[in-house]
Amino acid sequence: MNTKETKKAELEAPKWNDATTLLDPENGYWKMLEIGDLIEFQRTYLGKNVYNHWVVYIGNLEVIEARPQKNLLKKLAKSDWIKKISLQEATDNSRWRINHFLDEMYPPFEKQEIRKRAEEQLDPKTRTFPCYELTTSNCEHFCHLVRNGKSVSIQVEEKKLLHEVGKEILSEVGELLGTLVINELPFW
């Protein structure tokens, strides 16, 4: 394995990389990116990971992303929520990693096909991806759909699972507390 292949293999490991390592002009990992790579960024608030943002690399230091529309008129028009932006803008000083976890189950399309599929979504006339919706059509769904043909979001599934487990725990605690309270009430 040559040096570039070794560095690419390290890059695809599931570890998180510091934001500065991606765009460093001399030694940046951007040189290793290939068309169709999915890049996952950790978005934080007060030092805690809040969510992960996903983009598709299309070459020339550009990515395509799906993100919620902030402008109400554009949101109602269902436009401008899939965008081509610079890799630098996407980075937003966030930790990052290349993430191709679906590739083992669903082989990716060829690089140029991934790029074509992503670029087709930029035009509202050819767009087939539904309007942005956090739980059913977010940035992660978009990226996996254009790379692997499957609309999947692991972070949504994890949150749903945590929600269900939390509801179950609260239900059990509520039942237990209810039993304790009823058993402690004086009988008259």
Indicate the domain borders of the chain.
3-152, 153-188
CATH class of 3-152: alpha beta
Rounded to an integer, what distance in angstroms lies between the CA atom of residue 92 and that of residue 52?
A: 12
Rounded to an integer, what distance in angstroms lies between the CA atom of residue 169 and that of residue 10?
A: 40
pTM metric for this prediction: 0.76
Mean pLDDT, residues 27-38 taken together: 92
Cβ contact 146:118 at 8 Å: yes
Tens digit of each residue's pLDDT (9 = 90 or more) over 84-105: 999 999 999 999 999 999 999 9
Mean pLDDT, the chain, whole residue set: 80
Rounded to an integer, what distance in angstroms lies between the CA atom of residue 71 and that of residue 62?
A: 23
Nearest to 108, CA basis, from 119, 100, 118, 120: 100
Tens digit of each residue's pLDDT (9 = 90 or more) over 122-160: 998 888 887 777 677 899 999 999 999 999 887 765 554
What would the two tokens of residue 48 be?
A: 């805690």
Alpha helices in 132-153 (DSSP H): 139-148
Confidence at residue 161, expressed as pLDDT on a 0 to 100 scale: 47
